[in-house]
Amino acid sequence: MSEQKNTTKTTYHIPIGPIHPALKEPVYFEFEIDGERIVDVDVKLGHVHRAIEWTGMRRNPIQILYLAERICGICSFVHPMSFARAVENACDIEVPERADYLRVIHGELERICSHMLWAGVAAHEIGFDSVLFITWEMRERVLDLTEYLTGNRVTKAIMMIGGVRRDITSEHVPKIKETMNYLKKNFEKLRKIYLEDKTFKIRSMNCGILTYEDAMGLCAVGPTTRASGVKKDVRVDQAYAAYGDLDIDYMTPDILRGKTVGDVYDRIIVRLLEVKQSIELIEQCLDKIPSGDIVSEPKIPKLLAHVKKTAGEGIGRHEAPRGEVIHYVKFDGENEHPYTWKVRASTYANILPWIPMLKGEQIADIPIVAASTDPCMSCTNRVGVIKDGNTTQLTKEQLHKLSVQKTRRLMR
Amino acid sequence: MNAPKVKEQLTPEGIVKYFKDEFKTKIKSSNVKKHVEGSKKKEYYNIWIKIDKSIFKDVIKHLCDMTYPHLAVISGNDLKKDIELIYHFSLYFGKRYNEISLNISVDVPKSKLEIETICDWIPGALVTEREKQEMLGIKIIGIPDSRRLFLPDDWPEGVYPWRKDDKGLQKYIRNLHEVKK
Amino acid sequence: MRFSMLPQVFAQMFKKPWTNKFPAKYAPKNTTKFLEDVESGKAKINPPIKTPEGFRGKIQYDKDKCIGCKLCIKVCPCGAIEFKEKEKKIKIYLSRCCFCSQCNDVCPVNCLSMSDEFLLADADPYSKDLIVE
């Protein structure tokens, strides 16, 4: 005991990343920790930079649609949608009304799939694997519906500049209604497990708090910022596609809880409320959808010739499951390929909020707090802990085990 | 974040007039575009304003006095003699069908590639300003953290991928099938 | 309720597994021997779940209808189609194809279509099974 009084106390530096279980995008964190508490955080990026924008500036707009689809696997509808809206904005192409409704239906289906995937992953980070399997079983039905409507479970290839590629006929409608009824019946089961089970409450309440001022100043987007009380949602703010005709509102936690704290529990609430909202929006669309064309220019060479002649710039925004996605496109009137193409995915804006959220938390909370903002791509992990000059490596299994052990400790 | 000074909400033409009243000729051009979508034909507006580089910081301060904006991203264009930076803002979010998109573009000459940072007013601009520094070679004065963001540490100096002149990239630096990884 | 997950866990213990056991109930220890057994009739492969209509599988090319307009080459995002100059027909490399079916939509004479075949794995990217011409 007496030796410890003479030594000076200093903080450790832990690097986490670039590949990690809870983070779905390879990100490199460096934590400065004091015992088990985090004192400071530093974030570095760039590990999966694939030069997509540079590649896109050498291809014509139809090829870029498929390149944009593969920017991210789980948000594979939002990038072609934003890109197509940016091109339509720049070249003054008008989209028929039926295509607007079809785009909304596919976008909301993808939102349901993405939020259920996230819910399962959040349960896995806490250590609650049975919930993971139940949630993903429900998600399988929605993926079956997607395969029936578009031909593939994930990379849908349904977007075209000026409309969509496939129609929803009267034969498809019964299967859509059957899946929606199945989801509505089982939604109550999910809500009870996530919001009332004691395990979730003790791990997620008052953990990873993002205040209202921080969320506004750091320009956070999506459910991360709505859970802190900021009312920001592109679907409600701007009446684009068919959202202007539908009954839609901001989903903030005070609808269910009465107050807004901005912790991980609030983010779970916001995402579950959005799943319910998406089911209602799809049903509203199926009732109101008008008849007509599904694409404004069916002949592709004419479309490409029109784009080649027009000079202009445009932006296209869409509300992805993770936040706002914006694409900027500029055409110079001489070539088919764009002069500039800039993509900003929603996780880009949600990186800086990690820093105020993680300060003051414990190491075992890192997976659940980082996963609660739903970063966008899955990876493995290796954590290096430097203690007095000896390096030990904590692998993915050990970090996950730390998180599970904390749950067991709190349950006693 | 100070409280905004202008109390009532302005229309798109009112916003353009607000900037033109303050800065007169330094606003080079402006354009208000209206878009209509959906069956009920609801409208939304995009405003494009081009300003002179000397008044840049004052314009941002003026904007924050009007209402606190949301910065989406900064995009960059390489025109032959200068680099054009476009700041994409969105204003008046929070109420239904109320949002207006504002795009402010600034021309920076290649002979003196510098511009001030807006991180003291909008802290969330840090990530996108760092990206412009490494992709276009533009120097941002006063940025709190000027390390590389996306490109790896062994990337050669002086090569800026988004430029279309000799400093740009003609082909990939390293092809995986050539390096046999 | 404190542990609202418990009733679900109990109910789950009495349900049948949902997985379709393709190709066999347990993974075979020796794959080539398993395939030989199937050929001779000693073992059986469980079929995969049927794909829905409109599934985008292997591409099929009707050579006689093709007019050589090269529109499919222009829109292919992967560069998977090659033009044979002398015959004025095309050659598709499946190892590069991303199954988007954009070439189907563009073709003016409808000579391309997608089948429902998806078991296409191979060791050599240029083998005969993976080139359509």
* ipTM, 2 dp: 0.87
Considering the domain architecture, whether residues C125 and C80 belong to the same structural domain is answered as yes
Confidence at B170, pLDDT banded by 50, 70, 90: low
Q: Which amino acid is at A286?
A: L
pLDDT tens per residue, range A71-106: 877 778 888 999 999 999 888 888 898 999 999 999
Confidence at A387, pLDDT banded by 50, 70, 90: very low
Please report the pLDDT score of residue A391 as a whole number: 36
Please report the pLDDT score of residue A393 as a whole number: 42
Residues 6-25 of B with CB under 8 A from A: none
**How close is the nearest chain A Cα to the Cα of C12, in Å?**
9
Assign a CATH topology to domain A94-296.
Cytochrome-c3 Hydrogenase; chain B (1.10.645)
The residue range of the domain holding C117 is 59-132
For the segment B172-178, the average pLDDT, to the nearest whole number, is: 54
Q: Between A46 and C33, where is the model more confident?
A: C33
Q: Which chains touch A (3 or more CB pairs under 8 A)?
A: B, C
Exposed e or buried b per residue across A149-183, where buried means at least 16 C-beta atoms within 10 angstroms of its C-beta: bbbbeebbbbbbbbbbbbebeeebeeebeebbeeb
Q: Which chains touch C (3 or more CB pairs under 8 A)?
A: A
Residue ranges of chain C whose pLDDT lies below 70: 1-2
**How close is the nearest chain B Cα to the Cα of A43, in Å?**
10
Asked, for residue B157, whether it belongs to a domain, the answer is yes
pLDDT tens per residue, range A294-337: 888 888 889 889 988 988 888 888 998 888 888 999 998 888 88
Instruction: List CB contacts (< 8 A) between A351 and chain B.
Output: 127
Residue of A nearest to C70 (CA): A301
Per the structure, the count of domains in chain B is 1
Please report the pLDDT score of residue A352 as a whole number: 82
For the segment B51-75, the average pLDDT, to the nearest whole number, is: 86
CATH of domain A2-48+350-411: 3.30.390
Q: Which amino acid is at B22?
A: E
Is A147 in Cβ contact with C4 (below 8 Å)?
A: no
Q: Least CB-CB distance to A148: which of C2, C52, C102?
A: C52
Confidence at B100, pLDDT banded by 50, 70, 90: confident
Would the pLDDT of A377 be above 60?
Answer: no
The residue range of the domain holding B172 is 12-179
Asked, for residue B7, whether it belongs to a domain, the answer is no
Short-list A204, A213, A258, A241, CA closest to A407: A204
Q: Least CB-CB distance to A239: which of B44, B48, B72?
A: B44
The answer to whether residue B128 neighbours chain A at the CB level (below 8 Å) is: yes
For the segment A144-167, the average pLDDT, to the nearest whole number, is: 89
Please report the pLDDT score of residue A378 as a whole number: 30
The answer to whether residue B177 neighbours chain A at the CB level (below 8 Å) is: no
Please report the pLDDT score of residue A174 as a whole number: 92
Is B128 in Cβ contact with A348 (below 8 Å)?
A: yes
Residues 157-176 of B with CB under 8 A from A: 161-162, 169, 172
- Evaluate whether chains B and C are touching (3 or more beta carbon pairs less than 8 Å apart): no
Please report the pLDDT score of residue A6 as a whole number: 61
Average pLDDT score over chain A: 81
Most confident of A31-45, A187-201, C100-114: C100-114
From the candidates C53, C75, C101, C118, which should be mutated to test the interface with A, based on the most A CB atoms within 10 A? C75
CB B104 within 8 A of CB B89: yes
Residues 6+ apart with CB under 8 A from A345: A71, A72, A75, A79, A320, A322, A325, A376
The answer to whether residue B45 neighbours chain A at the CB level (below 8 Å) is: no
The answer to whether residue C73 neighbours chain A at the CB level (below 8 Å) is: no
Q: Least CB-CB distance to C77: which of A67, A140, A147?
A: A67
Rg (CA), chain B: 19
The answer to whether residue B143 neighbours chain A at the CB level (below 8 Å) is: no
Please report the pLDDT score of residue A382 as a whole number: 26
Considering the domain architecture, whether residues C88 and C122 belong to the same structural domain is answered as yes
Mean pLDDT is lowest, of A225-239, A265-279, B17-31, B108-122, for: B17-31
Asked, for residue C45, whether it belongs to a domain, the answer is no
Place of tokens 């209202």: A212
Considering the domain architecture, whether residues C35 and C68 belong to the same structural domain is answered as no
**How close is the nearest chain C Cα to the Cα of A101, in Å?**
21
The answer to whether residue C99 neighbours chain A at the CB level (below 8 Å) is: yes
Confidence at A383, pLDDT banded by 50, 70, 90: very low
Q: Least CB-CB distance to A217: which of B39, B88, B124?
A: B124
Per the structure, the count of domains in chain C is 2
CB B124 within 8 A of CB A218: yes
Is C4 in Cβ contact with A193 (below 8 Å)?
A: yes
Instruction: List CB contacts (< 8 A) between B162 and chain A.
Output: 53-54, 340
Residues 16-45 of C with CB under 8 A from A: 18
Please report the pLDDT score of residue A385 as a whole number: 30
CATH number at residue C125: 3.30.70.3270
Is C77 in Cβ contact with A62 (below 8 Å)?
A: yes
Q: Least CB-CB distance to B150: which of A45, A245, A317?
A: A45
Tokens read off for B85: 């930076």
Instruction: List CB contacts (< 8 A) between A300 and chain C.
Output: 71, 75, 105-106
Would the pLDDT of B141 be above 50?
Answer: yes
Instruction: List CB contacts (< 8 A) between A249 and chain B.
Output: 96
Asked, for residue C49, whether it belongs to a domain, the answer is no
Considering the domain architecture, whether residues C68 and C127 belong to the same structural domain is answered as yes
Instruction: List CB contacts (< 8 A) between B73 and chain A.
Output: 326, 328, 342, 344, 348
- Evaluate whether chains B and A are touching (3 or more beta carbon pairs less than 8 Å apart): yes
Tokens read off for C76: 């292919």
Asked, for residue B108, whether it belongs to a domain, the answer is yes
Is B72 in Cβ contact with A239 (below 8 Å)?
A: no
3-state secondary structure of B93: coil
**How close is the nearest chain A Cα to the Cα of C34, in Å?**
30
Confidence at A113, pLDDT banded by 50, 70, 90: very high
Considering the domain architecture, whether residues C32 and C85 belong to the same structural domain is answered as no
CA distance A92 to A77: 22
CATH number at residue B140: 3.30.460.80
Would the pLDDT of A46 be above 70?
Answer: no
Short-list A350, A381, A87, CA closest to A210: A350
Please report the pLDDT score of residue A279 as a whole number: 92
SS (H, E, C) A245-294: CCCCCCCCCHHHHCCCCCCHHHHHHHHHHHHHHHHHHHHHHHHHCCCCCC
Domain ranges of chain A: 2-48+350-411, 59-93+303-345, 94-296
Instruction: List CB contacts (< 8 A) between A54 and chain B.
Output: 161-162, 169
From the candidates C5, C12, C115, which should be mutated to test the interface with A, based on the most A CB atoms within 10 A? C5
Tokens read off for C3: 């542990």
Tokens read off for B93: 């979010």
Q: Which amino acid is at A136?
A: W
Considering the domain architecture, whether residues C120 and C89 belong to the same structural domain is answered as yes
Considering the domain architecture, whether residues C70 and C125 belong to the same structural domain is answered as yes
Please report the pLDDT score of residue A108 as a whole number: 92
Asked, for residue B70, whether it belongs to a domain, the answer is yes
Residue of B nearest to A42 (CA): B145
Q: Least CB-CB distance to A131: which of C1, C5, C56?
A: C5
Considering the domain architecture, whether residues C28 and C86 belong to the same structural domain is answered as no
**How close is the nearest chain C Cα to the Cα of A329, in Å?**
18
CB A191 within 8 A of CB A109: no
Asked, for residue C68, whether it belongs to a domain, the answer is yes
Is B94 in Cβ contact with A232 (below 8 Å)?
A: yes
Q: Which chains touch B (3 or more CB pairs under 8 A)?
A: A
Considering the domain architecture, whether residues C35 and C79 belong to the same structural domain is answered as no
C-alpha triplet A55, B162, A316: angle, nearest 5°: 70
